[in-house]
Amino acid sequence: MNPFFQYNELPDYAAITPALAEEAITHLLEDANKKLSQLESHVEPSWESCMASRYEITEPLEYAWGIVSHMLSAMNNQEWRDIHEKLQPQIVAFFSKIGQSQNLYQAMKGLSANATGSRLTEAQKRILESDLRDAIHAGAACSPDKREKLTTLREKNATDRATFMNHALDASKAVVLTLTEKQDIAGLPSSLLSAASEAAQRNNYPESSSQKGPWVITHEAPLFVPFMQYSERRDLRETLYRAYIARASEGKLDNRPIIENILKRRRQISHLLGFDTYADLQLESRMAQKVQAVESLIERITDVAKPAAQADIDALEEYAHNHGQAGKLKAWDVAFWSERLRKERFALDSESLRPYFPFPRVLECLFETIKELFDVSICPADGKASVWHPDVRFFEVQDQTCTCIAYLYLDPYSRPDTKRGGAWMDSVLSRERKPNGCIRCPAALMVCNQARPSEGKPALMTLSEVTTLYHECGHALHHILTEVDLPAAAGVNNVEWDAVELPSQFMENWVYHRPYLKRMTKHVETGETLPDTIIDQIIQSRWFHAGLHTLRQIFFSALDLGLHYEYDPEGSETPDDYKQRIAPQYNVILPIPEDRFLCGFSHIFAGGYAAGYYSYKWAEVLAADAFAAFEEAGLDNKEALVQTGKHFRNTVLALGGSKHPMEVFKAFRGREPDPDALLRQTGLLT
């Protein structure tokens, strides 16, 4: 009855424990290794033999390990850390073994050589092409000694990535400021004081209240971001900022040696596989394909965004001086004065808008939008499936005949003690047509970190949190509205990393579509919607400081690409030195010398974005161009909106990884994407 074995069913999260995980995965590894040996002894160059049989071996293990990885991220504690650390090397070793299998590799090569004659479907051909490339990247074409080295390097990097994430998580929870006096909280909104009081209660101040304090500020986003935006105490903003950019860079949580080791091993892996750099290796399996294509995108956007960012900073500095700040604008001043200028220019205040965005109403409107665009209903089904925390909601996705076609979990609120920061979507089950013709419904989970409900009120969201919710739901729709029957290409599976953000970035646009924006607002006390004048201001302010925000993301993209392409991990220059060296090309306010941002850059050192952070901007181009199709059809033309939404669903969402993303995009748009679509959308290019 171990729940980790039920790989065709929704996980029984309530019954899951680290001990059961160890028991199940140990057994599954033994079974998978035994079945792999049997398969290797008689594998043939046919789809059933070398492809379908391999998935039958790996799927139960991927299902179980996916649960462990999810629990580590969403319910992090020492037990889950210990079990993850213990089992991960074995998981990495097994998947390296199957990826490097000579017999399987030769069978796939034979099948590929005869792909036309073997009557493979288009989806099967694409899966085969991807898996053959992955086998080469795994080392299947290498000598035995190289394969052994690759396995060792990857095992060490897997361990280091988990350690990096744990260090970053622990550092983000560390108390930076304890505020006790009224002058310490000057300018802070009530929502932040409530959150800071709850943080104080978690950190040895059980008597704390939002009115009387004390208040605790950590690096967790719901605390750090609004403090930097609203605190009138410049000295405290500087203290918090300096601690933030140095987090996880000293003592037991120092991530700097981990970064250096990961970069060295990645370069060694790329050399063993015949690539000059890790970026070359990674991009071979991306939509961009070549480093030069990414560099071209970065250069184009930088050329337009940097002058705009400089103009943003010049105007902001003048505004700050006119309102009493002396001296040059510093990094810890930008968010504060930007929020004030935005509030004055557009008569908007992020915190004053919160009461208009109660979470239940926002979620209801999101589901209404999905119904109108894609003709599916997302229906509450709490209690029909077990969940990993009482906060988690469960939903059934139904088509127009009220037939359940997918499942969706939502974990919306911040849990600083056990949940890593940020937001993400992950697959729980992938769609599959069984031999008897029945469909296994796909399932996805969405995890956010918005502020929790407090003082008897529903959670009140910032516009940024609303946008994040729509973003993650775009990922989920991509996975659960697939019509591909092969799990390996269903939903987000087999979609190139730099294209997988298209649906998520696309969904963000609907937050700023006037009818939907107005509909989702409902004041938590009065029930009133936002006035039209404020709706106008929100829409106009969407691209406020677009130059600064765009340049920031481009800097991260260039930094990530450079560390995996240009930077020499065996040289005398440190990663931080490299960051400081290239910063002037992409920043109008330079990082201070003590900046250790890389120590918290989990996307590339703990997640899957190594040599791939550019994917956000790459996909933003795709998403901006895709949304332009709706604009061209007419956003206020309901019939045209429905037809365009149907076309988007039948191409971008339905085809998943069964076709190359360029083919998918062209199937929807009728042409290749226009790189300037994003610059036009953000107002950086007229």
Helix pair 291-322, 546-563: axis angle to 10 deg: 140
Helix %, strand %, coil % of the chain (to 5)? 60, 5, 35
Residues 6+ away with beta carbon under 8 Å from 188: 196, 215, 226, 227, 230, 231
Is 472 marked active-site? yes
Contact 450, 469 (CB under 8 A): yes
Radius of gyration, alpha carbons of the chain: 25
CB atoms inside a 10 Å sphere around CB 519: 15
What is the number of helices (H) and of strands (E) in the chain? 26, 9
In whole angstroms, give the CA distance from residue 302 to residue 644.
Answer: 32
Report the length, in residues, of the chain. Answer: 686
Element (H, E) at 429: strand 424-429
Q: What is the dihedral of CA 195, 196, 202, 203, to 10 degrees?
A: 170
Task: Indicate the burial class of 427 (C-beta count within 10 angstroms; 0-12, 13-18, 19 or more).
Answer: buried
Q: Chain centroid to CA 176: how far? A: 26
User: 527: which residues sit within 8 A by CB, 6+ positions away?
Assistant: none
What is d(CA 96, CA 145) in angstroms, rounded to the nearest whole number?
13
The number of beta carbons lying within 10 Å of the beta carbon of residue 503 is: 26
From residue 622, give the alpha-carbon distance in Å to each of 464, 592, 617, 627, 672: 21, 34, 9, 9, 9
Active-site position among 472, 496, 501, 508? 472
Residue type, 401: T
Q: Which of 593, 510, 601 is nearest to 555 (CA)?
A: 601
Q: Compute the distance between CA of residue 530 and CA of residue 518 in angstroms, rounded to an integer.
A: 6
Q: Which structure tokens are listed for 657?
A: 């990884």
**Distance between CA atoms of 122 and 565, rounded to whole angstroms?**
34
What are residue 357's phi and psi, to 5 degrees?
Answer: -125, 60
> Which residue shows structure tokens 């999260």?
13
Separation of alpha carbons 585 and 595, rounded Å: 17
List residues with catalytic annotation.
472
